Amino acid sequence: MTRELTKPLPRNWWLKKAAYFRFMMRELTSVAVLAYTLLIVWTLGSAANSGGFSTLYAFLSTSLSVSLHVVILALALYHTGTWIALTPKVMVLWRDDERVDPDFIAGVTGISFLMITGATIWLVLM
């Protein structure tokens, strides 16, 4: 019986290749978005219960809060981009016997995302 060598994956495998790093960032950004969502729900709940929305508004206009939201926005956009890129992999459409161009599907998904986001912002600011 020959002895076979097995080489376990090192703990820092995701630092060994740019593609692995981008994958890990995609996964971690989802954690950040979830954490932010929970924080917002908790903050709004606390403010509503204590009737202290003015304190919340004051915090939201600080440079710390603005910086935090810029970072969260960047993470959320990165994560969204990965899903838009994934869409044509899952949504394989055919026009007669010809596959619809994956870039077209990703483009339509991206434009839809921008339009829905724009409409949501418009509704909130109205």
Interface positions with another protein (CB under 8 A): 2-7, 9, 13-14, 16-17, 19-20, 23, 27, 86, 89-92, 94, 96-99
The least distance separating another protein from the CB of residue 90, rounded to whole angstroms, comes to 5
State which residue, 4 or 103, has the beta carbon closest to another protein.
Answer: 4
State which residue, 7 or 123, has the beta carbon closest to another protein.
Answer: 7
Tell me which DSSP letter residue 17 carries.
S
Torsion of CA 59, 64, 67, 69, to 10 degrees: -30
Beta-carbon count within 10 A of 105 CB: 19
* Amino acid occupying residue 8: P
The least distance separating another protein from the CB of residue 32, rounded to whole angstroms, comes to 17
The alpha carbon of residue 72 and the mean position of all alpha carbons in its chain are separated, in whole angstroms, by: 9
State which residue, 17 or 69, has the beta carbon closest to another protein.
Answer: 17
State which residue, 102 or 107, has the beta carbon closest to another protein.
Answer: 102
Angle subtended by helix axes 63-90 and 18-50, to nearest 10:
130
The least distance separating another protein from the CB of residue 93, rounded to whole angstroms, comes to 11
